Amino acid sequence: MWGIAKSILLDKRLISVGSLLLVLVLIDRQLPCGLHPVVSELDTLEHFMFGFLLSDFANNIANSTGFHEMLGAKFGQGKSRKRDLLIRLIGFLLIGGLLWESSELFIFPLFGGPSPDSFFSFPITLKNIDGTIDVTAGIIGCFLAWYSAR
């Protein structure tokens, strides 16, 4: 457990992106009208940064627990970059998709938070496209974190 915490706390890129995202969200929450009138696409930027952050987070956990090496031993060492991308995407989708969206449904209303928009409902129209855009921006952030980690 200490190895996981150490790998996260000593990662400068993870800490800097996480701190920037936290400051951005806190400033947005503290202002009476938020930052959305100034930066109209702030939500997309936040989800992009969240995807970047979760990608590095999942990668650090996989490396510090030996999960990355276990997969390499099981499936071969030849495709390390592809395996790394898969770990990052699964980490993003599990943490960002399941945990965050379920907390929006079940925990946020307990604290008086707004009722969540529908995450995905078909057909995707202009009324419910926000969840799709959020996940897409997060996946792009995940890809950028993977690509820049060479």
Q: Which DSSP string do the residues of 22-91 spell out, in sequence order?
A: HHHHHHHHHSSS-STTTSTTHHHHHHHHHHHHHHHHHHHHHHHHTHHHHHHHHH-STTHHHHHHHHHHHH
64-76 confidence digits (pLDDT tens): 887 877 877 777 7
Measured between alpha carbons, how far is 11 from 15 in angstroms, rounded to an integer? 6
pTM higher than the cut 0.85: no
pLDDT of residue 78: 63
**Residue pointed to by tokens 């590095």:** 56
Interatomic CA distance for residues 80 and 30, integer angstroms = 43
Distance, CA of 41 to CA of 68 (rounded, Å): 35
* pLDDT at residue 79, as a whole number: 66
pLDDT in tens, 78-107: 668 888 888 889 888 888 877 776 776 677
pLDDT tens readout for residues 100-141: 767 766 776 776 666 655 555 566 677 667 777 888 898 999
58 has pLDDT over 70: yes
